[in-house]
Structure 1
């Protein structure tokens, strides 16, 4: 009799945790909506009064109603990203390419441990590429080309063994190009059009400059 009472309680607790998680993910995405300018109303369905964000357009969830994809590429969005995005712990794809989003890339994106693809190319991002992205051990695609990023390429990225594509071309990066770890296989064209970027480091004639900004 004792065990028969435990199962419904455990199930209720599981449902509560799942709903709470979905609500927190919805809060994070709604914070993003509030920070973006959306002239074409592509985010009109992002209604915070719903139980979870899985019914919103451009959002994909898994069977447990966790957000796994945000697809907002080429949507004529502007504004800035928000640190709340770091709470999307099940997110695998963050697709925000070909917009007019400005400001810094939040360091909190380094908390997205399930992230496979980060596509921020062809925007107006400024500041440095966060070193915290080196925590994304599942990351395969990192494309931030055609922005206004400055500073060095974080060496923390070289420790991500899963990386298959890194494109930082057409920014204002400086220092030298890493050649260790996963960076040993990336073509030179993925680093071009950064006037202050030297390298690759493998040549030995250019030293890694930590002070570049």
Structure 2
């Protein structure tokens, strides 16, 4: 009887699914691949035959064998980004740019609270930017440009105190740009051009003490450019063309010593003589 029981137990163990030998990160990646269509060259490595996801193409791990990086940029990925990505609790870097990923950005991405870098640019993503991204307070780089995102920028992104690079250009985002975004002292690069933003540029823009590249062109912004823009002492490039701005350029821009390029064409601005070294374009 004991022999029969032992033999049955052995058979049971043999038939245990190999997926149980994967750690939680490996299981999350396999679940993710059910909606994220990977090319065969990558998909062939994402399987049960190698229970260590650290060996899978596009995946990088920490010394403790936890997935910290997912790099699938420009490899022919399609499908959608599923909620399973939120199970990768140690993820710090994700790049799925230059592919054909569609659907919405899963709010579960906000569960990856160790994220520092996210690039989903140049895809076919739609829907709104999930407010849950503000849970990822270590984020320094966010690139969601060249998609079909709509709605507004979540005001909760003000929680991203470390954010230095924000690129949302070439989407269908609209309404007012949150004033809190213009209070971000660490932002160095801001690309919000080619959207449908309305309203005015608030005086709080002067709090962007680190900004070097500010692109707000090709929107529906109105009102005057506030004099506080002169407080952006590190500003090098200011692109405001194709808006509905009025009034004169503030004289405070003359005090921004590193300013190299300003394009304010195709607005309703009144000409004013400035000593800015390079006003690249002045045609309204």
The secondary structure found in structure 1 opposite 2:91 is coil
Q: Is the 8 A contact 2:110 2:136 kept in 1?
A: yes
Specify the alignment match of 2:184 in structure 1: 182
What CA distance in whole angstroms lies between the structure 2 residues aligned with 1:183 and 1:103? 33
Q: Deviations over 1:150-183 (max 9, x none)?
A: 0000111112111010100100001112343427
Specify the alignment match of 2:192 in structure 1: 191
Superposition TM-score, scaled by structure 1 size: 0.79
Q: Is the 8 A contact 2:163 2:186 kept in 1?
A: no
Q: Is the 8 A contact 2:164 2:189 kept in 1?
A: no
Question: Counterparts in 2 of 1:59-208, with a 5 A limit?
Answer: 59-180=59-180, 181-182=183-184, 185=187, 190-194=191-195, 196-202=196-202
Specify the alignment match of 2:33 in structure 1: 33
What CA distance in whole angstroms lies between the structure 1 residues aligned with 2:85 and 2:70? 11
Q: Is the 8 A contact 1:70 1:94 kept in 2?
A: yes
What CA distance in whole angstroms lies between the structure 1 residues aligned with 2:21 and 2:130? 26
> Which structure would you say has the larger Rg?
2
Q: Is the 8 A contact 2:101 2:124 kept in 1?
A: yes
Q: Unaligned 5+ residue runs, structure 1?
A: 1-19, 207-213
Specify the alignment match of 2:239 in structure 1: none
What CA distance in whole angstroms lies between the structure 2 residues aligned with 1:120 and 1:131? 16
**1:184 shift after superposition:** 7.7
What root-mean-square deviation, in Å, do the aligned CA atoms of Structure 1 and Structure 2 show?
2.2
- Would the alpha carbon gap of residues 111 and 198 (structure 1) be closer, same or farther in structure 2, given more than 3 Å must change? same
Q: Deviations over 1:104-149 (max 9, x none)?
A: 0000000101101010000000000000001111100000000000
- Would the alpha carbon gap of residues 25 and 65 (structure 1) be closer, same or farther in structure 2, given more than 3 Å must change? same
Quick check: 103-112 or 36-45, which moved more? 36-45
Superposition TM-score, scaled by structure 2 size: 0.60
Q: Unaligned 5+ residue runs, structure 2?
A: 1-19, 205-221, 224-284
**1:79 shift after superposition:** 0.2
What CA distance in whole angstroms lies between the structure 1 residues aligned with 2:28 and 2:202? 42
What CA distance in whole angstroms lies between the structure 1 residues aligned with 2:51 and 2:83? 22
What CA distance in whole angstroms lies between the structure 2 residues aligned with 1:31 and 1:136? 22
- Would the alpha carbon gap of residues 59 and 90 (structure 1) be closer, same or farther in structure 2, given more than 3 Å must change? same
- Would the alpha carbon gap of residues 22 and 133 (structure 1) be closer, same or farther in structure 2, given more than 3 Å must change? farther
**1:47 shift after superposition:** 1.1
- Would the alpha carbon gap of residues 112 and 124 (structure 1) be closer, same or farther in structure 2, given more than 3 Å must change? same
What CA distance in whole angstroms lies between the structure 2 residues aligned with 1:126 and 1:48? 32
What CA distance in whole angstroms lies between the structure 1 residues aligned with 2:201 and 2:185? 11
Q: Is the 8 A contact 1:59 1:67 kept in 2?
A: yes
Structure with the bigger RCO (C-alpha within 8 Å, sep 6+) is 1
